[in-house]
Amino acid sequence: MALKTRVKVSEVTNLHNGRYCAGMGVEMIGFPLDKEHPDFVSPERFKEISSWLAGIKFVAEINQSLDIDFEAYEKFDFIQTDKLDLLEDLQNLATPLVFKYDLAIEAELEDVTSVLTAVKDKVDFIIIESKAQLDAKRIDLLSKVAKEFKLFLGFGINHENVTEMIDTIQPEGISLKGGAEIKVGINDFDELADILEELDTDEFAFN
């Protein structure tokens, strides 16, 4: 399956999620490595999942500290953080970086560009998340930001609006969250699946 845009799915915690994402054409999946995270993925769990997957990139998701034995995990294609101080420390590692930025509800364009300009040359791309609504004001703001930065849109997306948001904002890609495992092998992936099906280029060609 080929998708209309680049897609990252974060907080993948089991093989079922990983295989599903790989089969749907997702480019990257992320694993929470902070030990305090409720869905922390241990080195053993990571190897169990990653050894069965091919053709998909792995992202280490770190937000608390660098007290992580990266060698135990073997290899990540990207390391992601939302902390500016951690981003500075991660510069010493020979792994491409991703910065996750939390867009404040009252943020103005100048506020956003000031922060993102400071990290632009240090990271491969930037994920923007927010608790705010994706209203007309923020769509306009993100459209301007996407012209200057490699932006992955990480909020306000659903299967009904994802195509319109991609066409309007024109981000580098989108960032979604994995579904929690209800019981072994069964996941609540309905909305994520609907979004990916909307982005399926085969579907676009058929329609």
Distance of CA 127 to the CA centre of its chain: 6
pLDDT at 74: 85
Q: What pLDDT sits at residue 179?
A: 59
Q: What is the pLDDT of residue 180?
A: 55
Q: Please, which contacts does 135-139 make with residues 24 or more away whose CB atoms are closer than 8 Å?
A: 138/103, 139/165, 139/168, 139/169
DSSP 192: H
> Distance of CA 186 to CAs 51, 88, 202, Å?
20, 39, 26
How much is the pTM?
0.91
Q: Which domains does the chain have, with CATH numbers?
A: 6-206 (3.20.20.70)
Q: Which two tokens stand for residue 193?
A: 């699946």
As a whole number of Å, the CA-based R_g of the chain is 17
CA–CA distance, 60 with 65 (Å, rounded to integer): 12
Is residue 152 classed as helix, strand or coil in its secondary structure?
strand
Q: What pLDDT was estimated at residue 64? A: 87
β strands within the chain, DSSP E:
6-10, 28-32, 57-61, 78-81, 97-102, 125-129, 151-153, 173-177, 181-183, 186-187
In the block, tokens 């093989």 appear at: 15
User: Which structure tokens are listed for 26?
Assistant: 């997702």
| Six-digit token string for 171 | 């981000």
User: What is the full per-residue pLDDT of the chain (207 aa) written as tens digits?
Assistant: 789 999 999 999 889 889 989 999 999 999 999 999 999 999 999 999 999 999 999 999 999 888 899 899 988 999 999 999 999 899 888 899 999 999 999 999 999 999 999 999 999 999 999 999 999 999 999 999 999 999 999 999 999 999 999 999 999 999 998 855 444 444 456 788 899 999 998 754 444
